[in-house]
Amino acid sequence: MKRIAVVGASLAGVRAAQELRAQGYDGGVVLIGDEPHLPYDRPPLSKAFLAGTASRESLDLLDTGDLASLALDFRLGVRATGLEPGNRRILLSDGGSVHADGVVIATGGRARTLPGFAGAHTLRTVDDALALRSSLVPGVRVVIVGAGFIGAEVASTCRSLGLDVVVLEALAAPLTSVLGPALAAVCARLHLEHGTDLRCGVSATGMDAAGVHLADGSLVPADVVVVGAGMTPATDWLAGSGLKVGNGVHTDAGLVTELPQVVAVGDVARYGGQRHEHWTNASEQAPVAVANLLTGHTSRTYTPSGYVWSDQYSGTLQLAGHPRQDDSLSFVDGDPSSASFVATWQRDGEIVGVFALNNAKVFNRLRRQALRRPAIV
Ligand SMILES: Cc1cc2nc3c(=O)[nH]c(=O)nc-3n(C[C@H](O)[C@H](O)[C@H](O)COP(=O)(O)OP(=O)(O)OC[C@H]3O[C@@H](n4cnc5c(N)ncnc54)[C@H](O)[C@@H]3O)c2cc1C
């Protein structure tokens, strides 16, 4: 292949570009990104960068040495608007196009918005984080719709800035669908212990200048509203390409699409029916996808570790493995009321998932055991 285009200039795209070079590819690599910035890391956007304690430079995924050695042809601030596999061409929003023999799709996703919440902040990009940060001035009342990972981290950061925070969550407890009720109760405890007004089982219907309206007719006064409602995979530009999309770009277990010269990685990749929206997954897929792209067929398959971390208040939460709701949960080090503990999920006598609050040491030991089982779709 003379030239490979990587579409999406963020974590998964950068890892793919690095992996192309690591696996000996010395042809042209074009990195197309619709944000005007060089690739940067997102996890600090809801944590230290939002708090103002991490610099903009600390987010950069590539330093000057990387930029020189990778020899990438950057097309930044320009959106891919179409893929024409027959012509080996990617169409761009500036009217131009890129000819490519191979394509890595790494377009991640966009923050989901909610009807009735025009004017609310969302948080996916560094520009979103800068806009939100500038509104977090002393005395503002912050209302966050959604107590998922990002909603919880924004709440935590806002409390560290001394702001009043209300979190509105439709479920009975935060992250119940991911962690199950016992660990969701721990997440709720963290909010409450740190002075966040967490209201679960409520339905936010819209907002205006006064605040956020709930389905029961009440109003939660707000100066700043943040919607943390997850993300939507960025696949719109692939309409008409012939690739199968729908909740991501469909691939086989080796991250290869129906076309052997097109692979997908990161938050946008839906491989074998599953899609993950976590940093480690986006980082670890590149070696497999790139190997399969360069060999022209699926020679390797991807096994996700299911590793996720989240920093909320005084807690570092870590999760690994692929637990199901019907797996049995037990606390193996500490108990859920303590500031530090480890829990495991078991199935048929084997550990299939590990969760830790502030206990990386035991977590890492048990995590290796949790990886023995493949992901559950
Ligand atoms: C605020 C925040 C905090 C997070 N914290 C954690 C954490 O603590 N732990 C954890 O495990 N994970 C965390 N994550 C998730 C992690 O950052 C993502 O899993 C990771 O960024 C996914 O990388 P990606 O490259 O697949 O997609 P993205 O990071 O979404 O990047 C995709 C890029 O492609 C661009 N793009 C989209 N469409 C096009 C197009 N048509 N043409 C050109 N470019 C396009 C996008 O603008 C974007 O720059 C966090 C995410 C956010 C937003």
Q: What is the per-residue pLDDT for 298?
A: 97
Does residue 363 share a domain with residue 290?
Answer: no
Which pLDDT does position 376 carry in this prediction?
37
Q: Are residues 343 and 278 in the same domain?
A: no
Spatial separation of the C-alpha atoms in residues 116 and 314, rounded to whole Å:
33
Q: Is residue 160 part of a domain?
A: yes
In a domain, 241, yes or no: yes
Are 39 and 86 in a shared domain? yes
Using the Cα atoms of residue 254, residue 63, residue 44 and residue 369 in order, give the sign of their dihedral.
Answer: positive
Please give the pLDDT value at position 322. Answer: 86
* Pair (135, 107) in one structural domain: no
pLDDT in tens, 280-317: 999 999 999 999 999 999 999 999 988 999 999 999 99
Are 210 and 339 in the same domain?
A: no
Q: 62 and 8 share a domain?
A: yes
Last residue of a domain, one of 201, 227, 253: 227
| One domain for residues 210 and 264 | no
Residue whose CB lies within 8 A of the most ligand 1 atoms, among 6, 11, 75, 268, for a mutation test: 11
Q: Work out whether the CA dihedral 340, 346, 350, 353 comes out positive or negative.
A: negative
User: Is the per-residue pLDDT at 48 higher than 50?
Assistant: yes
Q: Is the CB of 234 under 6 A from ligand 1?
A: yes
Question: Do the Cβ atoms of 245 and 261 come closer than 8 Å?
Answer: no
57 and 97 belong to one structural domain: yes
Asked if residue 306 belongs to a domain, the reply is: no
What CATH number is given to the structural domain containing 338?
3.30.390.30
Find out whether the beta carbon of 226 lies less than 6 Å from any atom of ligand 1. Answer: no
Domain end residue (candidates: 227, 247, 276):
227
Query: Which of ligand 1's atoms lies nearest the C-alpha of 125?
Result: 53
Query: What CATH number corresponds to the domain at position 159?
Result: 3.50.50.60
Q: Residue 90: CB within 6 Å of ligand 1?
A: no
Q: What is the pLDDT of residues 322-376, one digit of tens each?
A: 889 899 999 999 999 999 999 999 999 999 999 999 999 999 999 987 655 554 3
Task: Spell out a b/e string for 91-117, using b for 16 or more CB atoms within 10 Å of the CB, else e.
Answer: bbeeeeebebebbbbbbbbebeebeeb
Residues 50 and 97 in one domain: yes
Is residue 116, in this structure, part of any structural domain at all?
no
Does residue 212 share a domain with residue 83? no
* 109 in contact with ligand 1, CB cutoff 6 A: yes
74 lines ligand 1 (CB under 6 A): no
Beta carbon of 39 within 6 Å of any ligand 1 atom: no
Domain-embedded: residue 300 = no
Per-residue model confidence as pLDDT tens digits over 140-169 = 999 999 999 999 999 999 999 999 999 999
Domain total in the chain: 3
End-to-end CA distance of the chain: 34
Do 185 and 244 sit in the same domain of this protein? no
Distance 36 CA to ligand 1 centre (A): 15
pLDDT digits (tens, 9 = 90+) for 53-64: 999 999 999 999
Residue 198 is assigned to a structural domain of this protein: yes
Domain span including residue 365: 314-370
Q: Is the CB of 49 under 6 A from ligand 1?
A: no
The reply to whether 24 and 49 lie within a common domain is: yes
Most ligand 1 atoms within 8 A of CB, residue of 18, 38, 42 to mutate:
42
Closest-CA residue, ligand 1 atom 5, reads 43
